[in-house]
Amino acid sequence: VVVIVLASIERTAANDEFNGIRRAKCQLSRDRTQIYEGMDNVLMKRLQALRTEMRTRTSTQTAELDAYLVPSYDEHQSTYLMESDQRVRFLTGFSGTEGTAVVLLRSAAFWVNERDLEQADQELNCAWRLFRNGERPTMAEYLIAELTPEALVGVDPQLYPHNMWKHLEADLSADFIRLVRVQRNLVDLVWGMKRPAPKSNAIRVHPVRFAGERWDSKVARLRSNLTALRCDGMIVTSLTEIAYLLNVRGSDISHVPVFKAYLLVTHRELLLYTNTSRETLNVKNHLKTHSCHNENCVQVREYGDVWRDLRTMAQHWHRLLVPSAIVFDTGASEAIYSIIPRNIVFERASPIIFMRAQKNEGEKQGMRRSHIRDGVAMCEVLSRLEDRFIAGDHLTELWLVREIDHARKIQNNSEGIAFPTIVAFGKHSALPNYIPTNRTNVEITEHGTLLIDSGGQYEDGTTDVSRTLHLGDPSPDQIRAYTNVLSGMIRLSMQTFPENLKPADLDALARGPVWGSMNDYPHGTGHGIGYYSAVRESPISISYTAKHRFTFKEGYFFSNEPGYYKTGEFGVRLENVLEVVDTGKIHPTGHKFLAFQDVTLVPFEPKLIDRRLLSVPEKKWLNEYNARIRQQVGEELKRKHKMDAFYWMMNKTRYVPEYITESDYNGGAVSIGSPCAILQLTLPIMVLLTKYAIALF
């Protein structure tokens, strides 16, 4: 009897595991049937239409499918997509950046990262089971449990990274389930004539005064890398890599200045595959496309010709570099890999990623300048926010989004925003990736934290900054959470370290104070920042769960963004962009000592800082940081005659006393068990003893 009971419990646990996370809005009694209304009903019809296409052989160009995968990528494995590539959003309603849908004939499942989990739970209807990436069941385990041997799982190979395809295919084949390439995208067939037309806007030249290096110089460095790897050439599939390498930009995708294209680089040729109608005379002169018959000019061909040329040219190559997955970049698609003979494929991370990450002198100066202008924009908006609030105006999340976006747009060299602006008030601030919509928009009041995460695209840099505010009287819990996050942020900013240290090893510095409150945040502490490019770029990723071997180099820029989220109540996130600098000192092992310099210059919220929880070095750092804001941002505000914002900034960057006083101690206690607290409690005694000794002598 005991054995039977235990077996029953195990089966129940397994069933619960494969049902996904518990979704409160989807818990129905046994005698009720789920009724879909409004948008949920539209999404349900789309799901059913996709299942019809799965059973139609003319659509699949093969046998009927038992499952179909819909990843959140385009043909270039971009995470930010143009509207015509938003297939996951069209099918599921999920508005986040990353998620994978798996549709079976009788069920549907969705995998998402931890930081987007709550958002997906709210946006997906109850037809979808919801799972976390990185936890069981994996996609393969789910498919094996739901399907029978000989089942067919279809996916569009242009939208699926080869690295992910390879692992999924191996896992499924062990249970005789086949992963098949479906050349006609089934979601597009359901979308039909209502699918937005793909963009094909004009290409723009990125002047060398901003880029800091000529494109032919970059190509020469890349070819040197390919020679060292004994490669005949490489296929570049990443849109941001093409834009960087050729010093060109586009506007096909919102927030990322790129255009759809492939680039084939050999020692004798440069072939750019895109819509040739988007070429301007300026671009033709820039790329030297006129009568191009040598290795230092670019031949422009139609976007679709890349498949024919790869098949033809592969016959003459011995070794072709095809990008593999690295950190945030997933590498080339399965379609690219499948068209090139396996014996000539050299699978390796793109060398362009490391060239791009280490900014040249012109790019470094541009990043610093653009962050000063960005600081001006944020000071203008935040001072206006407080003034309007004090005046009694009714302000909402969407109002503040518009104000922030406009303030950036009017700055010099502005090219818009770097990602959709996050303004999250109250319980919304507990959602790391919340973006307000007309449906969710709420009024900003004095009863809650206000989290703002935003960034700008400038011709001379990309910015990313998060600040948390409170327009009323914050609670002790909110002050403690904010100060712990600030403490972690400062600890990382102050760190000096040898250049062979892995980024993951620094994560505990930022998370330490949050861990001390027995909490954690569901996202990485930092990521690489592009230069007038994607706001998140490889190879830097600061997360204790990451296993990357890549290290910091002088000239890298990355984000420093610890957080704290109390579900259903409030959230805190603070974020600066840091520049990696060389200290000029040498470690005993011979490695350089590196350090960080904050380039973001936006004030913190003094009313949310409990300085008793900060160490003396942390308060010293804060005072030096505030002094830089007053000097660099303050001068620009005065030059522009933005005096309201100037005085607001001066008030927010007041000097913070670095030593604890008796009144601080009487006003409340910090955690006695922490080393920081012990130091702060003993400092007044040490100061008194020192004064007494001096008086005696």
**214-268 pLDDT per residue, tens:** 999 999 999 999 999 999 999 999 999 999 999 999 999 999 999 999 999 999 9
Would you state the pLDDT for residue 666? Answer: 57
* Structure-derived torsion over alpha carbons of residues 254, 255, 259, 263, reported in degrees to the nearest 10: -140
Would you state the pLDDT for residue 692? Answer: 36
547, pLDDT greater than 90: no
| Mean pLDDT value across residues 491-520 | 96
114, pLDDT greater than 70: yes
635, pLDDT greater than 90: yes
Could you give the residue ranges of the DSSP H alpha helices within 21-68? 38-54, 57-60
Query: Average per-residue pLDDT in the chain?
Result: 91
Would you state the pLDDT for residue 8? Answer: 37
User: Could you tell me the residue ranges of all domains in the chain?
Assistant: 1-194, 204-357, 361-653
489, pLDDT greater than 50: yes
440, pLDDT greater than 80: yes
d(CA 511, CA 519): 9
674, pLDDT greater than 90: no
Triad 80, 577, 618: Cα angle to 5°: 145
The residues, any chain, with a CB within 8 Å of residue 82's CB and separated by 6 or more, are 74, 196, 198, 199, 252, 253, 254
444, pLDDT greater than 90: yes
Model confidence at 350, pLDDT cuts 50, 70, 90, reads: very high
Domain 204-357 classification at class level: alpha beta
696, pLDDT greater than 50: no
Model confidence at 546, pLDDT cuts 50, 70, 90, reads: confident
CA 481 to chain centre: 23
Pair of tokens at residue 126: 């109850």
Lowest mean pLDDT among 33-42, 132-141, 171-180, 532-541: 33-42
| Mean pLDDT value across residues 287-301 | 94
d(CA 376, CA 634): 8
Triad 634, 638, 640: Cα angle to 5°: 120
pTM score of the predicted model: 0.90
Would you state the pLDDT for residue 683? Answer: 39
Pair of tokens at residue 209: 């005064």
Q: Could you tell me the fold of the domain covering 1-194?
A: Creatine Amidinohydrolase; Chain A, domain 1 (3.40.350)
d(CA 456, CA 451): 17
CA 78 to chain centre: 12
Instruction: Please choose, from the candidates 627, 572, 569, the residue with its C-alpha nearest in 3D space to the C-alpha of residue 598.
Output: 627
Would you state the pLDDT for residue 19? Answer: 84
Model confidence at 62, pLDDT cuts 50, 70, 90, reads: confident
Would you state the pLDDT for residue 118? Answer: 85
Residues of the chain with pLDDT > 70: what percent?
A: 91
Beta strands per DSSP E along 231-298:
233-236, 248-249, 262-266, 270-274
12, pLDDT greater than 70: no
Model confidence at 176, pLDDT cuts 50, 70, 90, reads: very high
Of the CA atoms within 13 Å of residue 235, those in its CB half-sphere come to: 30
Would you state the pLDDT for residue 304? Answer: 96
1, pLDDT greater than 50: no
Q: Could you tell me the fold of the domain covering 361-653?
A: Creatine Amidinohydrolase (3.90.230)
Domains 1-194 and 204-357 share a fold: yes
402, pLDDT greater than 60: yes
d(CA 77, CA 534): 13
